[in-house]
């Protein structure tokens, strides 16, 4: 297990006092902590803990709000289906609070770290570490706000430590201002993080190229809906080219030869960022493989099969495309008797969807799986580069080269030649599902491509399985602010809820 994973449990015990809803059990406070690089490092690792608790951000939160709106998803569990059909309210009690609270807990902790470290100096041999830790906290804060602004639009934007409950009750900040702050944080992170890829006990943590990638993704997102700021495309391309120029060096990433290795091997050279998980401590693993695992695949009591991917999506892959069977378990072994279960036959029924196959842990119990949660990979950067080149210059040879590198690695044929600019854009949109499904990109891509109405119209839960027949409404382009936040924060209130919710 990686040292970062071991440190998370210790740091949450130390830093839980930073969260407004938790009781203070010790005399530790920011004023007498952060005296050296080790203490500062513990503070940064406490930010990661906000994302890592089981039955939380990924397995019950983002899986609903980001993955389920994909038109390729099937939901056996009714409350998951609501996120594909938009039949929900701001009072939804399971996914909304887990996403909102996890990201804001991370932001509150990052604010403390940034404030404390910016106001101190360390011994000369630890000054470089102090600056790098500020950069890492800013990267994590930027990533948290980036998720929130894409999900909810304008959100409260605390940038200083919160010392009282009233101090946390901030009004919503305009969406453009949130993006501006994200950019500032990432620019600082790029300048302050180490240039060399992390190794040893720090492997998997952000470095300068990680910031370059996310900054490019932020610019690209701003060029799409809802902002449609075309000026950001050239900025996205320039920053992404800086990243691509580092490919294969100690300061960059690579496209692995094996798609399966890119998915299965934690901290591999293609991973740009992932949230690490562990079985070593209670409540520090993930329930993802359990919640989204196939029925009777693992062991007694493991595998709730909340949903999966559709037969149509499976059939959309070329037969030799290696991504298909890494992404989906069309067949698997029944742990009870060793028989092979095949999708569409009892007990692996069509209504369950085809089980995801990216997060697999055969020795986990309910909630202690240790496959890291994939957030960004270098193949995403190459698909972004193809998309941006097409948007600026049309489907040039350069755009095809980036796209076909990703497809060649998957053993798929080259993309069709002579596509128009619009056809190339559509091809990239579909290609991102094939390459990145279950890596928490779905609703973000659907929204920035302007495909919410189309995705809803084609969603299996809306048109096939007990169809909801939900008609598209423009307010579906954002999720509602959680009702608990609306009720607790008079500076938002129902009058400032996203319209329609």
Asked if 182 and 311 sit in the same domain, the reply is no
Q: Which of 435, 283, 242 is nearest to 368 (CA)?
A: 283
More confident position, 330 or 13? 330
pLDDT at res. 135: 98
φ and ψ at residue 376, rounded to 5 degrees: -140, 140
Q: What is the pLDDT of residues 119-137, one digit of tens each?
A: 899 999 999 999 999 999 9
Q: What average pLDDT does the chain have? A: 91
The arithmetic mean of pLDDT across residues 213-231, rounded, is: 98
**pLDDT over threshold 80, residue 26:** no
Asked if 189 and 293 sit in the same domain, the reply is no
Number of other CB atoms surrounding residue 206 within 10 Å:
24
Q: What is the pLDDT of residues 272-328, one digit of tens each?
A: 999 988 766 666 678 888 889 888 888 776 778 899 999 999 999 999 999 999 999
The arithmetic mean of pLDDT across residues 157-161, rounded, is: 96
The reply to whether 283 falls in a domain is: no
Rg value, the chain, Cα:
22
Question: How many structural domains compose the chain?
Answer: 2
pLDDT at res. 244: 98
Cα gap 283→431, rounded to integer Å: 35
The last residue of one of the domains, among 371, 402, 420, is 371
Residue 132 CB contacts under 8 Å (≥ 6 apart), including other chains? 192, 193, 194
Question: What percent of the chain has pLDDT above 90?
Answer: 81
The reply to whether 118 falls in a domain is: yes
Asked if 168 and 293 sit in the same domain, the reply is no
Asked if 180 and 55 sit in the same domain, the reply is yes
The last residue of one of the domains, among 340, 371, 402, is 371
Residue 214 CB contacts under 8 Å (≥ 6 apart), including other chains? 139, 142, 143, 146, 186, 273, 376
The last residue of one of the domains, among 312, 338, 371, is 371
Per the structure, the complete domain to which residue 323 belongs is given by 288-371
The arithmetic mean of pLDDT across residues 24-52, rounded, is: 80
Instruction: Enter the pTM of the model.
Output: 0.94
Task: Give the pLDDT band of residue 53 (cuts 50, 70, 90).
Answer: low
pLDDT at res. 24: 35
**pLDDT over threshold 50, residue 411:** yes
CA-CA distances (angstroms) from residue 70 to 77, 85, 116, 271?
A: 16, 10, 41, 23
Q: Which of 274, 207, 244, 220 is nearest to 438 (CA)?
A: 274
Q: Which of 125, 103, 106, 128 is nearest to 117 (CA)?
A: 128
**Residue 342 three-state SS:** strand
Cα gap 125→159, rounded to integer Å: 29
The reply to whether 463 falls in a domain is: no
């Amino acid at each position: 297990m990686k040292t970062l994973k071991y440190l998370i449990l210790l740091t949450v015990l130390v830093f839980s006092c930073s969260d407004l809803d938790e009781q203070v059990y010790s005399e530790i406070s920011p004023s007498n902590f952060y005296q050296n690089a080790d203490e500062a490092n513990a503070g940064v690792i406490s930010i990661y803990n906000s994302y890592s608790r089981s039955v939380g951000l990924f397995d019950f939160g983002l899986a609903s709000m980001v993955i389920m709106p994909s038109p390729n998803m099937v939901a056996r569990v009714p409350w998951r289906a609501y996120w594909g059909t938009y039949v929900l309210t701001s009072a939804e009690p399971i996914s909304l609070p887990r996403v909102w609270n996890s990201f804001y807990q991370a932001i509150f902790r990052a604010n403390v770290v940034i404030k404390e470290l910016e106001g101190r100096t360390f011994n000369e041999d630890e000054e470089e570490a102090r600056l790098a830790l500020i950069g890492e906290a800013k990267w994590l804060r930027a990533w948290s706000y980036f998720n929130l602004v894409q999900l909810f639009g304008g959100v409260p934007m605390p940038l200083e430590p919160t010392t009282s409950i009233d101090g946390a009750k901030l009004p919503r900040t305009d969406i453009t201002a949130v993006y501006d702050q994200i950019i500032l944080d990432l620019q600082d992170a790029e300048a302050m993080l180490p240039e060399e890829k992390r190794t040893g006990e720090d492997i998997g943590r952000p470095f300068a190229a990680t910031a370059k990638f996310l900054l490019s993704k932020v610019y690209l997102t701003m060029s799409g809906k809802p902002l449609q700021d075309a000026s950001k495309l050239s900025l996205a391309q320039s920053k992404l080219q800086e990243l691509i120029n580092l490919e294969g060096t100690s300061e960059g990433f690579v496209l692995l030869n094996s798609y399966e290795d890119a998915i299965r091997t934690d901290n591999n050279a293609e991973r740009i960022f992932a949230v690490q998980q562990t079985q070593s401590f209670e409540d520090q693993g993930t329930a993802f493989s359990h919640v989204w695992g196939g029925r009777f695949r693992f062991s007694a009591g493991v595998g709730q099969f909340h949903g999966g991917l559709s037969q149509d999506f499976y059939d959309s892959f070329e037969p030799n495309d290696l991504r298909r069977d890494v992404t989906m378990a069309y067949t698997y072994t029944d742990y009870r008797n060793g028989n092979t279960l095949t999708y569409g036959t009892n007990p692996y029924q069509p209504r369950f969807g085809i089980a995801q196959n990216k997060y697999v842990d055969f020795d986990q119990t309910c909630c202690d799986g240790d496959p890291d949660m994939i957030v960004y990979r270098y193949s995403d950067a190459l698909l972004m580069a193809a998309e941006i080149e097409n948007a600026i210059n049309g489907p040039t040879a350069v755009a095809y080269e980036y796209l076909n590198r990703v497809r060649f690695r998957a053993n798929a044929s080259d993309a069709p030649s002579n596509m128009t600019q619009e056809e190339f854009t559509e091809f990239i949109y579909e290609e991102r599902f094939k390459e990145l499904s279950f890596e928490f990109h779905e609703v973000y891509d659907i929204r920035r491509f302007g495909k919410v109405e189309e995705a809803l119209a084609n969603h299996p839960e809306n048109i096939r399985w007990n169809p909801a027949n939900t008609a598209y409404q423009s307010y579906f382009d954002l999720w509602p602010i959680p009702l608990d936040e609306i009720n607790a924060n008079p500076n938002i209130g129902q009058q400032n809820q996203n319209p329609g919710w």
